[in-house]
């Protein structure tokens, strides 16, 4: 009787060993892959952060850029500076020149106030007031000689305000209609979906202070 029990125990033991081994192998395969396997997603994120990467939200970025420019030209401390604004995926890049560190910092403060701005890059260079004035004078002379604007700062302000009006009005495209101002004359180009949109754009442009006339060259698609 004891011999039969021993034989049964050996048989059962031999069957259980492979099962246990299989269970151990299964446990090992359930371990999550190593972090090195997620390198692809990390590279993708790095590419998105690349400054050269194009905007994934061009309409939103255009709206932010216009709003920041409008704040700059409406602010007494910053309107005399020559600062350019570019927005990519909510990140505002400020370049150009300011007359002091205080006004450069003011540009950053104004940009951060705009809804949708994630961060602001301050690449503004400081240019003394005397140097800036001389530069403006020479620039105005060259523009006048070439038949271009002799009031570039005012024209930039007008252009920015017209664009801001387009972005605020649902009846007008803020991205398909382009605006350029020379000596108070606003030139509208680009495309509109209807004659009504084209007429509305011209009407909004005329409402901006400083506009002498509007040249409507918008094409109706």
Locate the domains of the chain by residue range: 58-129, 149-220
Q: For 12-24, how does the pLDDT look when each residue is reduced to its tens digit (9 = 90+)?
A: 444 444 434 434 4
**Which letter, b or e, does each residue of 191-202 get, where b requires 16 or more Cβ atoms within 10 Å of its Cβ?**
ebeeeebbbbbb
Give the model's pLDDT for residue 175: 83
DSSP state, 71? H
List phi, psi (to 5°) of 109.
-60, -45
Q: Which CATH number does the domain 58-129 belong to among 3.90.1150.10, 3.40.50.1400, 2.60.40.3120, 3.30.1340.30?
A: 3.30.1340.30
Q: Who has greater pLDDT, 4 or 95? A: 95
* pLDDT surpassing 80 at residue 169: yes
Q: Per-residue pLDDT for 103 more than 60?
A: yes
Say how far apart CA 86 and CA 126 lie, in whole Å.
19
Using one digit for the tens of pLDDT, what is the confidence trace for 187-202?
999 999 999 999 999 9
- Give residue-wise pLDDT tens across range 120-145: 999 999 987 655 555 555 544 444 44
Task: Provide the pLDDT confidence category of residue 58 given band limits of 50, 70 and 90.
Answer: confident
157 by Cβ neighbours in 10 Å (0-12 / 13-18 / 19+) ranks as buried
Ramachandran assignment for 69, one of left (phi > 0), alpha (psi -120 to 50 degrees), beta (any other): alpha
- Residue 180's φ and ψ, nearest 5 degrees, are -140, 135
Q: Do the domains 149-220 and 58-129 match in fold?
A: yes
Domain 149-220: which CATH number of 3.40.1280, 3.30.1340, 3.30.160, 3.40.1350: 3.30.1340
- Mean pLDDT score, 70-91: 90
What pairing do the DSSP bridges indicate for beta strands 82-88 and 91-98?
antiparallel
């Amino acid at each position: 009787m004891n011999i039969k029990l021993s034989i049964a125990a050996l048989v059962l033991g031999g069957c259980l060993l492979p099962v246990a081994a299989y269970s151990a192998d299964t446990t090992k395969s359930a371990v999550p892959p190593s972090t090195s396997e997620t390198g692809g997603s990390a590279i993708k994120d790095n590419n998105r952060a690349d400054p050269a990467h194009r905007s994934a939200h061009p309409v939103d970025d255009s709206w932010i850029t216009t709003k920041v420019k409008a704040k700059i030209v409406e602010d007494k401390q910053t309107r005399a500076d020559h600062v350019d604004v570019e927005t990519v995926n909510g990140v505002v890049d400020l370049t150009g020149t300011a007359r002091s560190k205080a006004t450069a910092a003011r540009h950053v403060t104004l940009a951060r106030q705009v809804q949708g701005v994630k961060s602001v890059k301050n690449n503004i260079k400081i240019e003394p007031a005397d140097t800036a004035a001389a530069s403006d004078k020479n620039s105005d002379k060259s523009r006048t000689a070439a038949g271009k604007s002799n009031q570039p700062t005012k024209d930039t302000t007008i252009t920015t305000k017209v664009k801001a009006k387009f972005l605020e009005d649902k009846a007008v495209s803020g991205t398909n209609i382009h605006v350029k101002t020379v000596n108070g004359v606003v030139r509208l180009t680009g495309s509109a979906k209807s004659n009504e949109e084209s007429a509305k754009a011209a009407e909004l442009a005329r409402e901006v202070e400083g506009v002498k006339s509007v040249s409507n060259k918008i094409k109706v698609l």
